[in-house]
C-alpha cells in the first residue's frame, strides 16, 4: 500500500493531473477536458489548502490506496455498498444510505470520456426526470450531479449517482413485455422531445455512418434495451442515459430492434426476434398514435450493422465497449456482421 502525491489544476478548460512518481499510474500529464467549474476533485485525503489564482483552482493531493467501495462509503456516507457490475467504461455500485434509501453509483474512468458531454447528459436527464416520472433521477452529492474523485488506483474518475430502480427486467421473449417496451419508448421519446440540451452530440452510430433519411432530430436515450428497464407492478422505470444523443426517433426504434436481433442471432433464436419485433412495433405505434414506418426502421437497422462493421475495421474509432472487447468477442461481432442480410432492398 503506497501513497502518491498528485498536483491538480481544475480550471474552466481542463483538469490536469500529474504525478510525482517516476512511473505514474496514468499518463503524465493526464488532461481531462472540463468546462464545468463546479466539478470537485475528491481523493481520500486532502493534503494542502486550496488557493485560487485568476479563476483557476489549484490543488495538491495525496491519495491513499483504498478500495473504491470504501471510498464511496466515506464519500457519500452510505451505510452499505455493493459492486453490481464492472464494464469497459464504468463500475456500478448499489448503495444503501443510513435512512434506507437505495442509490446507484457509477464510477467512470475520466480518461475514457469527454467530461463536458457527461455533464451535459446528466443535466439533461435531471431535466427529463422533472417531466417524466419513469426516468430515474440523478442524485446530487455535495450539490453536484457529477463529482470528480480518485478511484482505488488513484486515477481521476467521475462519480454519478441516481435513484435505484425497483422491480425486474423485462423479458424480450415475452410478447407482452416487448409491447410494453415499445409503449415505454414512445412515451420517453415524447418527453425527450420537450428538452433541447446543448453540448450533446449525435448518437455514435449516426456519427460513424451518415443516414440518407432526413427525419427530424431530437434527443434519444441512446441505449434503450430490456437491461435498462425495470418493471414493478404496472410501472416501468428507465435508466442508463449515459449514451444519450441526437437522432431521429426511427433510429432508436431500429437500435432497440438491432440489439434483440443481435442476441437472437448469436444464440440461434431468430424466432424470438421476429416475435419481439412485431410486439415492440405494435406497442410503439399504439402509444405514439400512428404506425411505425417499417421501411425507415429497416434502413436504420442496416445502418447500425454498417456502423458495427466500420468500427471493427477501425477499432480506434469504435465506442469503448467495442474497442476494448476481447478478440473472441470481436470475432463474434464479425460473425454477426458477416451473416447479416440487409433488410432494405
Per-residue pLDDT tens over the stretch 258-275: 999 999 999 999 999 999
Q: Which residue has the cell 467504461?
A: 89
Give CA torsion, residues 313, 315, 316, 318, to 10 deg.
100
Helices of type H across the chain: 68-76, 115-131, 175-192, 204-208, 249-266, 270-288, 294-313, 320-323, 327-339
Closest alpha carbon to 277 in 161, 205, 181, 148: 181
CB 88 within 8 Å of CB 111 = no
- Bridge pairing between strands 218-220 and 245-247: antiparallel
Domains of the chain with CATH codes: 3-163 (no CATH), 175-339 (3.90.1200.10)
- Bridge pairing between strands 3-10 and 229-232: unpaired
Residue 320's Cβ-count burial label (10 Å; 0-12, 13-18, 19+) is middle
Close Cβ partners of 342 (under 8 Å, ≥ 6 residues apart): 302
* CA–CA distance, 328 with 343 (Å, rounded to integer): 27
Instruction: Give me the pLDDT at residue 218, please.
Output: 97
Instruction: Give me the pLDDT at residue 129, please.
Output: 98
Residue 135 carries which DSSP code? B
CB 57 within 8 Å of CB 40 = no
What are 314's three cell numbers? Answer: 477501425
- The CA–CA distances, whole Å, from 329 to 23, 54, 302, 335, 336 equal 32, 49, 21, 10, 11
End-to-end CA distance of the chain, in Å?
61
What are 246's three cell numbers? Answer: 441526437
Close Cβ partners of 248 (under 8 Å, ≥ 6 residues apart): 211, 213, 215, 216, 217, 218, 296, 300
Cβ-based neighbour number of residue 31 at 10 Å: 14
Instruction: Give me the pLDDT at residue 85, please.
Output: 78
Instruction: Give me the pLDDT at residue 67, please.
Output: 77
Mean pLDDT of successive 10-residue segments in the chain (345 residues)? 36 35 31 42 34 37 56 86 80 92 93 93 98 97 92 88 95 97 98 95 96 93 96 93 97 98 97 97 97 96 98 95 92 97 75
Amino acid at each position: 500500500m503506497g501513497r502518491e502525491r498528485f498536483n491538480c489544476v481544475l480550471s474552466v478548460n481542463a483538469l490536469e493531473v500529474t504525478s510525482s512518481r517516476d512511473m505514474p499510474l496514468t499518463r503524465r500529464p493526464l488532461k481531462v477536458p472540463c468546462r464545468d467549474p463546479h466539478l470537485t476533485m475528491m481523493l481520500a485525503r486532502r493534503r494542502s489548502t486550496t488557493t485560487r489564482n485568476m479563476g483557476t483552482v489549484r490543488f495538491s493531493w495525496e491519495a491513499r490506496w483504498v478500495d473504491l467501495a470504501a471510498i464511496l462509503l466515506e464519500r457519500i456516507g452510505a451505510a452499505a455498498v455493493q459492486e453490481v457490475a464492472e464494464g469497459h467504461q464504468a463500475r456500478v455500485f448499489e448503495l444503501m444510505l443510513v435512512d434506507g434509501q437505495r442509490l446507484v453509483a457509477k464510477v467512470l474512468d475520466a480518461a475514457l470520456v469527454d467530461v463536458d458531454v457527461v455533464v451535459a447528459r446528466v443535466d439533461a436527464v435531471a431535466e427529463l426526470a422533472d417531466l417524466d416520472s419513469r426516468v430515474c433521477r440523478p442524485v446530487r452529492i455535495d450539490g453536484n450531479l457529477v463529482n470528480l474523485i480518485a478511484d482505488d488506483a488513484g486515477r481521476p474518475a467521475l462519480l454519478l449517482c441516481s435513484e435505484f430502480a425497483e422491480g425486474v427486467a423485462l423479458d424480450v421473449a415475452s410478447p407482452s413485455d416487448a409491447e410494453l417496451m415499445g409503449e415505454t419508448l414512445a412515451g420517453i421519446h415524447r418527453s425527450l422531445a420537450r428538452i433541447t440540451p446543448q453540448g450533446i452530440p449525435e448518437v455514435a452510430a449516426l456519427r460513424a455512418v451518415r443516414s440518407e433519411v432526413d427525419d427530424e432530430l431530437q434527443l434519444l436515450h441512446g441505449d434503450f434495451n430490456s437491461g435498462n428497464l425495470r418493471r414493478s407492478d404496472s410501472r416501468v422505470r428507465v435508466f442508463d442515459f449515459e449514451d444519450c444523443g441526437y437522432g431521429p426517433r426511427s433510429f432508436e426504434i431500429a437500435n432497440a430492434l438491432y440489439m434483440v436481433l443481435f442476441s437472437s442471432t448469436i444464440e440461434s433464436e431468430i424466432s424470438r426476434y421476429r416475435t419481439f419485433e412485431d410486439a415492440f412495433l405494435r406497442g410503439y405505434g399504439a402509444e405514439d398514435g400512428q404506425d411505425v414506418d417499417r421501411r425507415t426502421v429497416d434502413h436504420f437497422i442496416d445502418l447500425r450493422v454498417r456502423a458495427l462493421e466500420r468500427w471493427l475495421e477501425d477499432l480506434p474509432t469504435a465506442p469503448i465497449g467495442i474497442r476494448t472487447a476481447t478478440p473472441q468477442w470481436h470475432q463474434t461481432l464479425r460473425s454477426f456482421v458477416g451473416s447479416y442480410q440487409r433488410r432494405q432492398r
